Chains A and B, each alone.
Chain A
Amino acid sequence: MQNGELKQCELQIVETPRFFEAMLRGRPYGEASHITSRICGICAVGHATASLRATEKALGVAPSEQTVLLRKLNFHGEILDSHILHTYMLVAPDFLGVDSVIPLAKSAPEVVLRALRMKKLAGDICKVICGRHTHPHRDDGRRLHALPVERRDRRAARTACRDAR
Chain B
Amino acid sequence: MKAFELARPVTLDQALQELEKDSAKRDRTKLFAGGQDLVTELKEHLVEPDKLVDLKRIPGLDRIEVQPDGSLVIGCLVTLATLAEHAETKNFFTALAEAARSVGSAQIRSQGTVGGNLNQRPRCWYYRHELAPCLKKGGSECYAYAGLNKYNAILGGGPSYIVHPSDLAPALVAFDAEVTLRGAKGERKLALEEFYTLPAEADVTRETVLAPDEILTHVRVPAKPGWSSTYVKFKERGSYDFALASVAVAVRAAGSPRTIQDARLVLGGVAPKPWNVPKAAEALLGIDGVKTWTAAGNRAVAGAEPLAHNAYKVPLVKGLILQAMEALAKR
Partners in one complex: no
